[in-house]
Structure 1
Amino acid sequence: MEEERSMSTDHNRCCESLVQEFRPDNIGLEYENPSDFVTPQWPINHKGYAVYRATVAVLMVGWIVADLMYESQKFYHDRIWLYLVYATNWSFVLLVLSTCFQAVCVMFYTTRAASCVDRQSFEKMPPSLKLQWVLQNLGYNSAIVVTISYWSFIAFLDHTAILMTDMSRLKHTLNTVFVIFDLMVSATPIRILHMFIPVMLGSIYSLFNAFYFLNDGTILEGRHYAYNVLNWDHPQEAVITCLLCMVESVLSQIILYELYKLRHWIHSKTFFGQEGDLPYSEMQSIMTEAPKYSTMGKGQQPDFS
């Protein structure tokens, strides 16, 4: 009976959370706990988390540099700008930018707050963290779209040499593996209604791709298309591909949201046993328990606005 009541409570909370997720104000970039963007979900030392973010940023920069050098020497030669004709590389660049910007934000706010970053450190959502949120939505979502697209049809329908290399397979696989791992580590929230951000990115790339190739743009071997399934000599097929990628983008945002909720559920069951008793940092408990912190004046707290 107790178990059934618990399951019923969890179900009700899940439904209520989903309903709340579709509130109109969730389409914006305001968030009540900005510290979530620069802290881990788990009880990890903030300096350790800053080291993690810096390490990830360095590794991602190294990866994209190695990928660019490899593809330039083997395929592009003196036309290195062709790297940005591929949707995969748009996504890759955005993912690298996202990880680098996260590292900068985490180190900046952690340093300014002397490792005491919590919800009381912020009066409002800073513009820098809003930009970080946009970049994360773009990088995370597009990575999943790229992986799904590649392993669903591109790898089987398009045997272009550049798409069949080991580096290409890694780029179309490890990107999503990293996104899932990183999302489960950080405390960054995911909003379903933010699906419009990656959908806009997909629309911009589709317009760029059509404009480039319909104006006699060429890619490797003089071809007028980057992907077999996005050949504007067959406009109906190309439009269907674009629409399919938009649908994938929406589904990817839902996947990210479910992973975000799973992270919260695991955290609540592991550390508290009750949903909603989620910590925002190590300092939150200190400030709650110690009178001298709870009575600290506004002028004594770091200003991040």
Structure 2
Amino acid sequence: MSSGCYKRLRDAVDFSTGSNSSDFVTFQWCKFRWPFAIYRFVVAAYFFTLMILCAVWAKKYIIFLTYWTLTVFAGYLILSAVLCIVLSDNPALFSNALVRGLLSICWFLYNIVATLNPIIAIIYWMLVYKPTTQTPLIHNLTIHFFNGVFVVFNLVVSAQPHKWSHVWVPMLYASLYFIFMGVWYKAGGLNEHEKPYVYAAIDFSTDPLKSALLIVGLIFIAIPVVHTIIWVLTKLRLFIYEKCCCRGTRVTTLSSELPQMVQRMSISSTHDNNLESSEHVVTIPMSP
């Protein structure tokens, strides 16, 4: 194996955050971490509650790609929110091996949700959604639209990095799901309407060739395309930030600035007190 191939392979499986650890828990455009931590906590609470409600109310929750991804999404948001809150108060923990490992897990999960959420939204509204369905519109918007909106919003405001070489992660995830779907079909599994398929567009019992082509197209075309678009938009966000906002300077945090501010205030206060004391010193001349 050539050194170039080895380097690309190593980059593809590299999720170490290194010196960019702070980018996972902060806004791109704001130097304070607490607002980002609050934002992540609110979003995590919302989608975690949604996941619980869907798991309780939805029929055959486990067979749908939407709910698979919603579960991964909720897990990603909870882990991210916890890390944001912890690191906002303790920036020294960025060097902790456990914290770096958890940030790497976050990055791994991010590749799945950032790529699959938009794809699920697009496919659902183009191929699956029927206006005559009895499912309330707000339910469809909540689980098939708002998750995609989060990806776009997060892409714009957060400093989250995105590597094109991680494209294999969502591809592997989708492959595992479709393997599960095939096993489900072969085992005689039925959907919530007692039909021999999970999604009508992928029905092996009536058109196996079309179903296979749709699966191959999703894994090897749709996922790389969407992943590439997100990578390009991430590069564009960084370009705008560096050119228009900071000229390449790194984002700082309130936590990292406080010790320096306190030290400067202490030195200034001590200096002022010394001057004030010197003004009240009375010199008494000694008689010869």
Return the offset for 1:143: 0.3
CA distance 1:290–1:194, shift in 2 (3 Å): farther
| AA in 2 matched with 1:244 | G
Gaps of at least 5 residues in structure 1 are: 1-21, 77-81, 293-305
Q: What is the CA–CA distance in structure 2 between the aligned matches of 1:98 and 1:264, rounded to whole Å?
A: 23
**1:5-24 correspondence to structure 2 within 5 Å:** 23-24=8-9
**Equivalent in the alignment of 1:133:** 107
Residues 48, 74 of structure 2: 8 Å contact kept: yes
**Equivalent in the alignment of 1:112:** 90
**Equivalent in the alignment of 1:14:** none
Q: Which one of the candidate residues 84, 95, 100 is aligned to 1:122?
A: 95
Q: Which one of the candidate residues 11, 17, 26 is aligned to 1:31?
A: 17
Q: Which one of the candidate residues 259, 268, 283 is aligned to 2:233?
A: 259
Q: Which one of the candidate residues 218, 235, 240 is aligned to 2:213?
A: 240
Aligned length: 253
**1:260-279 correspondence to structure 2 within 5 Å:** 260-272=234-246, 274=247, 276-279=248-251
Q: What is the CA–CA distance in structure 1 between the aligned matches of 2:192 and 2:132, rounded to whole Å?
A: 9
Q: Which one of the candidate residues 78, 90, 93 is aligned to 2:71?
A: 93
**Equivalent in the alignment of 1:224:** 196
Gaps of at least 5 residues in structure 2 are: 1-6, 265-288
Asked which structure has the greater CA Rg, the reply is 2
Residues 34-55 of structure 1: per-residue CA shift (max 9 Å, x gap): 2211222122422222211111
**Equivalent in the alignment of 1:59:** 46
Q: What is the CA–CA distance in structure 2 between the aligned matches of 1:162 and 1:112, rounded to whole Å?
A: 49
Q: What is the CA–CA distance in structure 2 between the aligned matches of 1:265 and 1:24, rounded to whole Å?
A: 26
Q: What is the CA–CA distance in structure 1 between the aligned matches of 2:261 and 2:249, rounded to whole Å?
A: 15
**Equivalent in the alignment of 2:61:** 83
**Equivalent in the alignment of 2:168:** 196
Q: Percent identity?
A: 22
Residues 231-285 of structure 1: per-residue CA shift (max 9 Å, x gap): 121221111111121121111211211221122123223323x3x3342545667
Q: What is the CA–CA distance in structure 1 between the aligned matches of 2:158 and 2:24, rounded to whole Å?
A: 8
| AA in 1 matched with 2:85 | M
Q: What is the CA–CA distance in structure 2 between the aligned matches of 1:165 and 1:49, rounded to whole Å?
A: 30
Give yes or no for the alignment of 1:206 onto 2:178.
Answer: yes
Residues 196, 203 of structure 2: 8 Å contact kept: yes
CA distance 1:260–1:110, shift in 2 (3 Å): same
RMSD between aligned alpha carbons? 2.9
